[in-house]
Amino acid sequence: METLSWHSVERHLATGRPFLLGMGGSRGVTFGYLPAQRRMFVRLPSDPDPEVPVHRLRELEVETRRTEDGSVLEISTTSPELHREFHRLAGLLTEDFDKGGQSASDTLDTALRRWRELATLERALTEQQQLGLFGELLVLGALIRRDGAAMVDAWTGRDPLLPDRHDFRLPQIDLEVKVTRGTNHRHLINGLRQLAPTPGHRLFLLSIVVQPAGAGSGTSLRELVARTRELTATSSAAAKALAMRLAAANYEDRHEGAYAARLSLAEPPRLIEVGRECQGITPLTIEAALGSNHASRIGNVVYELDVDGLGCSQGSPNYTAILPGLEVLTA
């Protein structure tokens, strides 16, 4: 059977106006959008008091409604990034519902099982997110090996109670960890405060370049997580703090199959002092360049920073003087 095409939906979305369209089939399924609520929905005619299926997909809402045409089971999302996938779900619902023999609630259960094979709403971490967490766990492991499990508290960048902090806070030193799989030390900087030093602390960027590891060498993200958990197993407080930070990073064990790629250091990490050996774009630098009136109108900046050849390498006297006994290892 033919259902409402995504092309038709896109044309209606482009108008910026609400719409309600037939999805196709013979049982009156409709598809619509309410721009004021940013809500896309599909409606299946139902009994007056249908059983609302229980689901674990945070991006979907399921409820019953009364419309001019009677009772409906409405499934909706307010996540614009899911519009294309939601339309696919609506198509599956329409096809299953049109076969007959199933209630609206049963149809939703069936369609969700099929849809999970096509699209996962609660996705695993992206490659860039995996790299960021990989680098932070490398540093955390080095800190714990040097100073003990209590160093989990130094991992401030993932502490949900301390927003907008740098990745790690040590005595008089903040660390911002950046990881790339490229061939040079070029990193994406997110926001105006990521390289803004905190008063009373020197800020260092720890630049890590990784590469795919050969058989039996390097480590994977899931192995790093397991290793870090072992390092904190002797302290319930540290283990709890680690679990909280992994949750804040959206790491879930059920996705560990996606985190099996093994990586190794392509070269020794480099330590660069921000403000002395490199300069980031911060509220102060923008104000100095543009004046306070123009600077106040800039809300966010994302840029690449090339730190090749800057700072000092792990193992050098200068590195050891700043981070004594801290060795970042992937094996």
- Treating both helix axes as pointing N-terminal to C-terminal, what angle do 6-14 and 83-98 enclose, rounded to 10 degrees? 130
Q: Looking up tokens 């050849």, which residue turns up? A: 309
Global confidence as pTM: 0.65
Instruction: Tell me the pLDDT tens digit for each residue of 135-169.
Output: 999 999 999 999 999 999 999 999 988 877 899 99
Q: How far is CA 81 from CA 3, 60, 61, 84, 216, in A?
A: 21, 13, 16, 8, 39
> Average pLDDT for residues 298-307, to the nearest whole number?
89
Share the mean pLDDT of the chain.
89
Cβ pair 25, 3 in contact under 8 A: yes
For residue 121, what pLDDT band results from cuts at 50, 70 and 90? very low
Give the separation between CA 111 and CA 118, rounded to whole angstroms: 11
Give the separation between CA 19 and CA 11, rounded to whole angstroms: 11
Compare 156 and 115 and report the one with higher pLDDT: 156
Compare 178 and 52 and report the one with higher pLDDT: 178
Max Cα separation, the chain?
A: 77
Beta-strand pair 262-265/186-190: unpaired
Q: Looking up tokens 């602390």, which residue turns up? A: 201
The answer for residues whose C-beta is within 8 angstroms of residue 189's C-beta and 6 or more apart is: 195, 280, 281, 302, 303, 304, 305
Give the separation between CA 110 and CA 127, rounded to whole angstroms: 31
Instruction: Tell me the pLDDT tens digit for each residue of 204-247.
Output: 999 999 999 876 789 999 999 999 999 999 999 999 999 999 99
Give the separation between CA 139 and CA 7, rounded to whole angstroms: 48
Q: What's the per-residue H, E or C state across 214-236?
A: CCCCCEEHHHHHHHHHHHHCCCH
For residue 20, what pLDDT band results from cuts at 50, 70 and 90? very high
Query: In 192-288, where do the E strands start and end?
Result: 202-212, 219-220, 262-265, 270-273
